[in-house]
Amino acid sequence: MFILKTNLLSSANIIKMFKKGIPFFILFVIILCSERITANNKVKVDVRVEGDIVEKTDFFGRRIYEGKIINNLNKRIDYVFIEFTLFNDKNEIIEKVKSYVSGITQTFKDSTISASSIEQGETANFKCFTSMMAESIIKYKYDIKWKVFHKLPDKY
């Protein structure tokens, strides 16, 4: 029985296993499984929307976007917001709107407060209200922005 290791799939090891009489099919299965294991173990180091963005409509028919943002960086991020750009059926921008996440509260040395900070590996909710009627929005794109303070600044 073979134990799958990261260096098992070097070209030299594959040739050795083939010379020892290991059928090509078994080598193929080992390579295929190791690629899937490697792909599944890669964690994206980024800040992104976790799951789907939920589109809702308020009482007046205006669009609302809700979701969660996850911080996969190796540090806390502050002043996190998501900005939506909304387009009509002519592919024209009809509105840009942003919403800060409901994160943890971080107080800085100058008493400035960020209520939209996200610790490493954590998520925070957002709810973005637009002034546009839902039926006038054909598509949207979004961008997530934040600041990183390795040490707390004296003044923001």
**Structure-block tokens of residue 135:** 């039926």
**Domain 47-147 is found in CATH 2.60.40.3230:** yes
Q: What is the pLDDT of residues 88-146, one digit of tens each?
A: 999 999 999 999 999 999 888 878 889 999 999 999 999 999 999 999 999 999 999 99
pTM for the whole thing?
A: 0.68
* Domain boundaries for CATH 2.60.40.3230 within the chain: 47-147
Alpha-carbon gap, residue 132 to 28, rounded angstroms? 54
Residue 26 phi/psi, 5-degree rounding, is: -65, -40
Q: Is the pLDDT of residue 34 over 60?
A: no
User: Cα 154 from chain centroid?
Assistant: 30
Alpha-carbon gap, residue 95 to 126, rounded angstroms? 18
Q: Is the pLDDT of residue 8 over 60?
A: no
